[in-house]
Structures are given as structure tokens and as C-alpha cells.
Amino acid sequence: MNSMQKLTRDNLISLEKYAEERPAFRQKVIAHKRNRRLDLGTNAALYFEDFLTMQYQVQEMLRIERIFEADGINEELNAYNPLIPDGSNWKATFMIEFPEVEERRAMLSQLRGIENRVYVQVADFDRVLAIADEDLERSDDDKTSAVHFLRFEMPAEQVAALKGGASLVAGIDHENYRVEVSPVADNIRQSLIADFD
């Protein structure tokens, strides 16, 4: 699958056909997503998006909202296409996960700006910091949001190093939440390298 490819209406199937194919398609996506989730400590995770995860997201949205008119479909495509990598980057949904409401509220105020402190690092190259929430601001003076959209723009030499077997590290460097995953598990690393093809 070419990572430069964006979803068009041709990539989608009708609601009726999707109802038939959904169980099998869902299994395929769940298996695929296992290699696309990276836990950053106990309370944060990156869900790396790609063509397949977004195709699933759009089909699910159309199904739930019962959207079958062209305008509605195009709206969903416009919303989700920006989350598909462009061939030189990774795109991820960044989730801050605290099950208890009170704890979550308290932590989100202590983690203001965390979305700008998420990084990846290839071998001995400089860290690549995430570019957060290009669509809309998700933090204010009091707290950060529990969900952010991140883009990691990867320099060509780092992509080449990764393809050549270089290690990958990921982490968060925030005063109230520091964690580093070193190295990123090989199944995830391999899945992410495919985003550059």
C-alpha cells in the first residue's frame, strides 16, 4: 500500500456491503493495529494511523451515522485523510489514559503541553519532536486534552537509517511525565517503516 495514497470514495464500500464484510474487515484491522500501538508508560499511548486504520475509521463513521450521500462521505474523507502519513512522516493519535475521572482531571492540568514533548529517536540522530494538533488547539491555560493528533516529520537520512536496521526509541520528556521506550518493539518498528514506502 502506498503511504502517499489518500482515501477516496472508490476505497469505500456501501453500507450494505460493509455490513456483510465488517466482521472479517474488523479482524484484519484489529490484527493490524496490534503493530501500530505504542504504550508510553502506563498512562499514555501512541496509535499510529495509516491508510487502513483510517479506512476503517471512515467506514465505521459512515455506518454509525448512516451516511450514504456524497457530501457527507466527502466530509468524513476530509476529516480523516490528514491522518494518513504522507511518505515522509508518521501520524499518530496520542491518548492520555487515566481510568478515574478525578485523577484524569488532575493529571490533565499537570500535563499541559505534554503533546509537544513526545519524541522519536533513530539511533544516534537528534530526537524528532512531534508537531501537535495542526487542525485545532487542544490545550488551554488550565489543562491539556486527553486526545491529540501528532505528526513526526522524519528526515530522509533517518528514514534510510531505519530501513537499514537502525534502532528506534520513543518517549515523552515532560516535567510531570517522563518515559522512554528503548528500543521500540520490532513488530511496531517494522510496521512504521512501511509508512515510508
User: Is residue 79 included in any domain, yes or no?
Assistant: yes
Distance CA(78)–CA(7), nearest Å, equals: 9
Query: What confidence tier does 29 reach under pLDDT thresholds 50, 70, 90?
Result: very high
| Beta strands per DSSP E along the chain | 37-39, 44-49, 89-96, 118-122, 128-129, 131-132, 147-153, 168-174, 177-181
How many C-beta atoms lie closer than 10 Å to residue 185's C-beta?
Answer: 13
User: Is residue 110 included in any domain, yes or no?
Assistant: yes
- pTM for the model: 0.91
CA 149 to chain CA mean position, Å: 7
Query: What confidence tier does 1 reach under pLDDT thresholds 50, 70, 90?
Result: very low
User: Is residue 91 included in any domain, yes or no?
Assistant: yes
User: Is residue 4 included in any domain, yes or no?
Assistant: no
User: Is residue 2 included in any domain, yes or no?
Assistant: no
- The residue segments making up the domain with residue 172 are 9-196
User: Is residue 185 included in any domain, yes or no?
Assistant: yes
Average pLDDT, the chain: 93
Per-residue pLDDT reduced to its tens digit, 83-108: 999 999 999 999 999 989 999 999 99
Per-residue pLDDT reduced to its tens digit, 133-180: 886 666 667 888 899 999 999 999 999 999 999 999 999 999 999 999
The CA-to-CA distance between both ends of the chain, in Å, stands at: 8
Count of domains for the chain: 1
User: Is residue 1 included in any domain, yes or no?
Assistant: no
Please count the CA atoms within 13 angstroms of the CA of 188 that sit on its side-chain side. Answer: 22
User: Is residue 3 included in any domain, yes or no?
Assistant: no
